[in-house]
Amino acid sequence: MTNEFIHFDKISRETWQNLHRKVPAPLTAQELNSIKSFNDEINLQDVVEVYLPLTYLIQIYKRSKEDLAFSKGIFLQKNLKKRPFIIGISGSVAVGKSTTSRLLQILLSRTFEEAKVELVTTDGFLYPNALLEEEELLQRKGFPESYNMELLLDFLDHLKNGQNYQIPVYSHEIYDIVPNKTQKIEAADFVIVEGINVFQNPQNERLYMTDYFDFSIYVDAEVQNIETWYLDRFTKLLDLAKDNPDNYYHHFTQKPLEEVIDFARKVWQTINLVNLKNYIEPTRNRAELILHKAANHEIDEIYLKK
């Protein structure tokens, strides 16, 4: 074990799945298929063996947070208002963060009956392409400087104080922020904030976004596996775009597939891999829990902060 993981307990999947009593998955295979990213291989067995114990662990953290808030209220001699339990989820592009986030959203809303669970992706906090182009940052889209970190911190601050917030909307179809469109995020019982940048230290700020999280997860895998998944996802996006001229990926469908795959590989190596190595992976040990995926997308190891 490297020094980076010295303050984590490494738990095998076999051990992890026995930490929680076996109960049926609270969703159907059809529901799971509807929320998983189209290149993810998750199944109901993963839900039962990995995600239900994780939901139970989050329950423990939530109870602990509520006990602390109650004791602090007594100490400060005032009623502290109820605040959302915020979960941050990070990891590389194409590693499966979105599937993990959407699945947790369903499991939490069904485990905590009547709980409202909001899901936010930080894509909405990217600067619009026009602005990135103006600042010559389009080739660094996804890097820390391409996000409006001030707005993201303001959003987290409002949320933590129990206030609702309107955030910009990002579309992968047009590969840009949607003009004049916002999404209202309520300070719900749980808010899941998912993105490659959620553990990063904002530029020139003394705040870490992790300061706002009550629980945090990093989805991890070997680099060569993530590259394979990225290229696989790229070809599936081409397939979806072939009949839609408005889709950002449509123009790629007019070129030879081999040429397009070479382009995607280059994008991976010069942009996504550089971002992963320099900015995303170095934040991994800020997570409370690391879910490590094997080549077949199955989670094989879990690291929990001691």
Q: What distance in Å separates the CA atoms of residue 98 and residue 85, rounded to the nearest whole number?
A: 19
Phi/psi zone of residue 109: left (φ > 0), alpha (ψ -120 to 50 degrees), beta? alpha
What strand order describes the sheet that includes 215-221? 8-12, 299-305, 289-293, 215-221, 85-91, 190-194, 117-121
91 marked as part of a ligand binding site: yes
95 is in an annotated binding site: yes
Contact 101, 212 (CB under 8 A): no
Q: Are strands 299-305 and 8-12 parallel, antiparallel or unpaired?
A: antiparallel
Residue 92 assigned ligand-binding role:
yes
Q: How far apart are CA 188 and CA 233, in angstroms?
A: 32
Are the CB atoms for 190 and 110 separated by under 8 Å? no
73 is in an annotated binding site: no
**DSSP SS3 for 220:** strand
Q: Is 98 annotated as a binding residue?
A: yes
Residue type, 105: Q
The C-alpha angle 97, 101, 105, rounded to 5 degrees, equals 175
Q: Is 93 annotated as a binding residue?
A: yes
Q: CA triplet 187, 175, 119: central angle to 5 degrees?
A: 20
Q: Which of 190, 42, 39, 194 is nearest to 107 (CA)?
A: 190
In the numeric block, the tokens 């300061």 are attached to 211
Identify which of 294, 100, 114 has the alpha carbon closest to the alpha carbon of residue 215. Answer: 100
- Residues within the annotated binding site? 91-98
- Residues within the annotated binding site for ATP? 91-98
